[in-house]
Structure formats: structure tokens, C-alpha cells
Amino acid sequence: MSAATRDRERQRLLVRLMWLSIATAVVTIALKLTAWALTGSVGLLSDAAESVVNLVAAAFGLAAVVWAARPPDEDHAYGHEKANYLSAGVEGGLILLAAVTIAYTAGDRLLHPQPIESAGVGIAVAIVASLLNLVMARVLIATGKREQSLILEADGKHLMTDVWTSAGVVIGVAAVALTGFERLDPLIALAVAANIVVTGVSLVRRSAGGLMDRALQPAELRLVDDVLARYTDDHVHFHALRTRRAGRRAFISVHVLVPGAWSVQAGHDLVERFEHDLRAEFDQATVFTHLEPLEDPASFEDTALDRPAQPRSGRSG
């Protein structure tokens, strides 16, 4: 199967899963609203509100999946993969918004407690909704990691926070029904809100790291170092290594120092082999190399991101 065919198949898989996530969100919203209507539980209402956030996030994620797959153009010469980080940031922000909403609603119910009604039926409906989310979350997270799609992984983690939310809410509703302690319902909702803040903050941080061109992960950097070590000897040195990731694509730039007496062809052949071996370690990698003479002291000064401008020679006349 060619690389282009694999990319098309991957894109179709991601789009199908995002549509399935949207459908799951619609079904779980209906189930949770039904559970809330039956019980009057503020925890279940908050749980339904988070599922509305899931729906909005999944719709945004679908748009981001399509956007990220667009080929490079004149305005985006390196492609559109950073849409992954934008989507994950929005997802994390929506999770935090859901936590605030849950906390606000629970705070009001803590001050004005109300009894739980039809707890058994409401709990059963909420469990069905949670199982749907659990299955969808596991599929999204596993596929997102395998396909290096932060969009799918973020959506899956969002759904997983919904599963934990629902579990806490169900326990709270059951405990209220058994003990009659009505304030336990909003207390459980507050605890769940605090828990999902952790996931929201994590996604926002990962999004920010990607948008700020954070270096490759330590395990990936070790792969780069292994290739560098394979080529390093008395005649070949490397420096000014810089890396970043945009979605699936890794960007790697490095200066290659070789004897100044080498021919252009010899230097070119070396970096061709080096770049080939480096790209082989990654699913998608763009490698930039800059060839420099090993004996020239200026080569070792050329390591900063912004090289100092050299003074221009005076003009005659």
C-alpha cells in the first residue's frame, strides 16, 4: 500500500471515529437528561451538561481532523497539522468550563438540598450512558495513540473524564437514596469537578507545548541521538540539533560538519544517507541539514537560533 493510500485510509478512519463520537454524545445527552428528569439529581444534570460539552468538542474535533489533513499550500508550506493542538486546547478549555459549570450547580444545590426521586431507574439509565462513553473513549484513545492523532486522543480523554464523572454521580445518587443525606449529591459533584480539572489542564498544556514548538519527546530524541552516533566519527560531527512536532510530523534540523576538503558530492551523499536513516525512525519526518567545514572555527559559532549578523564590507565609490 502506497503512502498516499495509507494517508487516505487513515483520514477516513479518523473522520468516521469523530462522527461516531458525535453520535455517542447525542445519545448520552438524551440518556442523562432522562436520568435527571427521573431523579432531579443535580449530579446527573451536571453530568448531562458535560456531555453537551462533549458534543461541542467532538464537532470541533471533526472540523480539526479535516483541517489538519489538508495538504500544504502557499500560506501553510509546512501543512496544517498544528490544528491538532488547537483542537486539543479547545477540548481542554471545554473540560475546564464543564468543571466550573458542575461546581456552580453543585454549590447551589449544596445550599438548597433536594431529595432524590426514582433513583433506581435514573441510575440504570446513567450507567448505560457511561458504558457507551467508556467504549467510545477507549477506542478513541487507542486509535489516537496508534495514529498519533492528538485530536482523537484528546476527545477520548474527554470522554473518559465523563465516565469518571458519571461513576461519581451514580455513587452519589445511590448513597443519597440509601442514607437520605441530600447534601451528598452536590458534594460528589464537586469532587468530580475537581477531578476532571486535572485532565483539562493536561490537555491545555499539551496544546500549548505543541503550538510553542516544543521539542520531541525524550524517547524520540533518543532515536535521533542513536542515528547521530551511528554517523559520528573523526571526520563527521553534528551540532545545532533542533526538533519539534506538529501532529504526526516531526521536524528535525541539524548542522553536519565534514572535512573542508571533501567534494560537494561526498558531503551530499553523506547527508542523503543520514537523512534517510533518520526519517526511517519516524512515521513522518522532515529533516533539514546544513553542511559546514569541520576545520573552520566559524562553523562552531553557528549554533544559536539567531546567528549574529556579520558586518557588511565597505563599498567603494
80 Cβ contact partners less than 8 Å away, ≥ 6 residues apart:
67, 68, 69, 70, 72
118 Cβ contact partners less than 8 Å away, ≥ 6 residues apart:
38, 39
Q: How far apart are CA 19 and CA 43, in angstroms?
A: 27
Q: Which of 267, 290, 268, 287 is nearest to 277 (CA)?
A: 287
CATH of the domain at 286: 3.30.70.1350
Mean pLDDT of the chain: 81
Decide if pLDDT at 259 tops 50. Answer: yes
Verify that 94 and 202 share a domain, yes or no: yes
Q: Which structural domain range is residue 235 located in?
A: 218-301
Over residues 171-224, the pLDDT tens digits come to 877 887 787 777 777 787 777 777 778 777 876 777 777 677 788 889 999 999
Verify that 45 and 104 share a domain, yes or no: yes
Beta strands in 125-236, from DSSP E residues, in sequence order: none
At which residue does the C-alpha cell 542513536 appear?
226
- Which of 163, 187, 211 lies at the terminal end of a domain, its last residue? 211
Q: Which residues of 257-278 are buried (b: 16+ CB within 10 A; e: fewer)?
A: bbeeebeeeebeebbeebbeeb
State how far the alpha carbon of 59 is from the alpha carbons of 19, 151, 174, 192, in Å.
8, 11, 33, 24
Residue 120 forms part of a structural domain:
yes
Over residues 136-156, the pLDDT tens digits come to 999 999 998 888 777 788 788
Confidence bin at 315 (pLDDT 50/70/90): very low
- Torsion, Cα 52 54 57 59, to 10 degrees, reads -80
Verify that 180 and 73 share a domain, yes or no: yes
Question: What's the number of domains the chain is made of?
Answer: 2
Residue 314 forms part of a structural domain:
no
Q: Which of 65, 59, 58 is nearest to 10 (CA)?
A: 65
Q: How far apart are CA 166 and CA 161, in angstroms?
A: 9
Residue 311 forms part of a structural domain:
no
